[in-house]
Amino acid sequence: MSDAAEFTQKEEKEDITPEEEQGNQSEDSSEDEASGATEMDFLRNLFSSTLGLGSVEKVLDELTLDGVARYIQSGKCKNIVCMVGAGISTSAGIPDFRSPGTGLYANLQKYKLPYPEAIFQIDYFKKHPEPFFALARELYPGQFKPTVCHYFMKMLKDKGLLRRCYSQNIDTLERVAGLEGDDLIEAHGTFYTSHCVSFSCRQEYNLGWMKEKIFADDIPKCDKCSSLVKPDIVFFGESLPVRFFTSMKMDFPQCDLLIIMGTSLQVQPFAGLVGRVSKSCPRLLINMEKAGQADPFFGVLDFGGGMDFDSDKAYRDVAHISTCDKGCLALADLLGWKGELEELVNSEHSRIDTQDQQEKASEAVGAAAKACAAPTAPEAKKEE
């Protein structure tokens, strides 16, 4: 699970406290600032292109994966930003959203929704939470192991090269692979925490609490006020986390290599991040198909930040068409990291398997102890 769509309307505002109203204003302000920055980017690019102002430095010696590897090895690349979507988790067994026949939206008929996206619509969820929590049981975090791609990003972190990972995914696999809170911007939220939906309560719950409720086939209700409790994923009709807007203004101007993996770059405002790096910053797409290409009209004006892989003017964008895992292994091989990456994946998967076995054994012991401690019904007296 990972995509979410455009987020335009706000949550309902009844029963909002002054403190919450101030928080909402702060969030709106961050989004307004981001919108203003985009408008400034448009004007800057328009005047620069029209008047022939400014020059662009070509960083890569060739627009190939080899060229990207040589750039990383040069020592000039120190602030890599990764943008990732559902495609990095499909090899873990988690379906993406839009693939015909196999995507999540193509297999929701059993929930009898008015339309597929309703399962992630905040207004629909508040009235009919059952379909979402039934789906959550199937795709719950903790049932899947991180992929090669997740561990490649962990290696970038360990080698001091990863500035930040911006993820559309809500499966928490980046965290399982070893990326911590400061390494990660979960643009569409996460299952890692949950909150009561009541504005006057907003009690927080952890991953374990939510997991227990979901697998007990209960609709999670707040212990304090009995309102619904929702994982902190961004539904249609909700705003993205404030941290998404504040962090992108710091990270993308400093980025010296943008690696985009497993995303169709169709969902705003996430897709627009590709245009926030500097004009000289190389951009590598690892995906099953080319994505995020510039509109031909805006390409003439050099506006929009879209990717340019094939034109005569292409100078920084590289498309490596493959699965995300194969692309990461290929890049790791060129960097001399392939053996290290494979060893990391194998050792971490073994650790997770061992941990799962221990947890299941502990649960079995607990269940047996609970059964033994349960009072037994008195035997019926035999008739004389």
Q: Cα(135)–Cα(55) distance, rounded to whole angstroms?
A: 51
Nearest residue to 84 via CA among 7, 154, 158: 154
Q: One-letter amino acid identity for 1?
A: M
Q: Cα(205)–Cα(195) distance, rounded to whole angstroms?
A: 6
- Residue 320 annotated in active site: no
Is residue 97 a contact partner of residue 104, using CB atoms and an 8 Å limit? yes
Is residue 289 a contact partner of residue 320, using CB atoms and an 8 Å limit? no
Angle of the 324-335 helix axis to the 338-373 helix axis, nearest 10: 130
Q: What angle (nearest 5°) sits at the alpha carbon of residue 13, between those of residues 10 and 18?
A: 120
Nearest residue to 202 via CA among 20, 28, 21: 20
Please identify which of the residues 188, 195, 320, 349 carries the catalytic annotation: 188
Is residue 84 a contact partner of residue 164, using CB atoms and an 8 Å limit? no
Q: Cα(165)–Cα(157) distance, rounded to whole angstroms?
A: 10
For residue 121, what are the β-bridge partners? Answer: 236
Catalytic residue positions, numbered? 188
